[in-house]
Amino acid sequence: MRQRRQAGFTLTELMVVVTIIGILVTMAVVYMRPRTRPIDVANRVGDLFREASRRAVALGQVQPTVAVAFGRARTRVIGSTSGTQVTFTMQRLQEAVGSTPTSWVFVDRYVVDKNVLAVQWANGVGTLTGLTSDFSTFSSACKPDGTCDAKTVYFQYAVAGPDFEQKAKLAVMPLGGAINTRTDWN
């Protein structure tokens, strides 16, 4: 009598398949988990500057009496810190109406993601001189012609990640609020 072989998988084959599936699931979880990159933060802060420039043009000229006291700026982006987390706030100049005095009014805010650090900034574009990590002194004004004060801001991961884009740079150019972002600090 001929012996018939049973159909099915051996224990070894099943263990190999389960191991492969486990590795694929682990890779999918790691790589599909949303993680804010430094370039994402640089682009978002750049968007804040673009909007400040756009609003400065839309709001028009500053009254001469206000310009003497507050400067020609129509909008501005300022920085503030809380621990290691930096917040960029856009404000617009609200000129005096009746008994309400001229003041800066909140428009929008972006809090840098906790996975990314705003490391340093400097006046000017692409400059490595005059760098400071004190974001409480950060301020860039946008004038009615759309030009903004030139600034360079450097970002990096708070903890090194698996990808190659560990750093990013935002350059605010005084050319009508033009923004340049890069995935390095060069």
Q: In which residue are the tokens 């099915």 written?
A: 8
Model pLDDT, residue 179: 77
Residue 128 has pLDDT above 80, yes or no: no
φ/ψ of residue 147, rounded to 5:
-80, 145
Model pLDDT, residue 2: 67
Mean pLDDT of the chain: 86
Residue 177 has pLDDT above 80, yes or no: no
* Rounded average pLDDT over 89-93: 94
75 strand-pairing partners: 92, 142
Measured CA distances, 131 to 1, 60, 121, 185 (Å): 88, 32, 5, 13
Instruction: Collect all residues with Cβ–Cβ distance below 8 Å to 14 and sequence separation of at least 6.
Output: none
Cβ of 46: how many Cβ atoms within 10 Å?
19
Per-residue pLDDT of 152-165, as tens digits, reads 999 998 887 666 66
Residue 95 has pLDDT above 90, yes or no: no
* Rounded average pLDDT over 14-36: 85
156 strand-pairing partners: 117, 167
Name the DSSP class of 94. Answer: E
Model pLDDT, residue 127: 65
Model pLDDT, residue 89: 96
Q: In which residue are the tokens 């978002």 written?
A: 44
Cβ of 102: how many Cβ atoms within 10 Å?
15
pTM beyond cutoff 0.75:
yes
Tell me the pLDDT band of 183, cut-offs 50, 70 and 90. confident
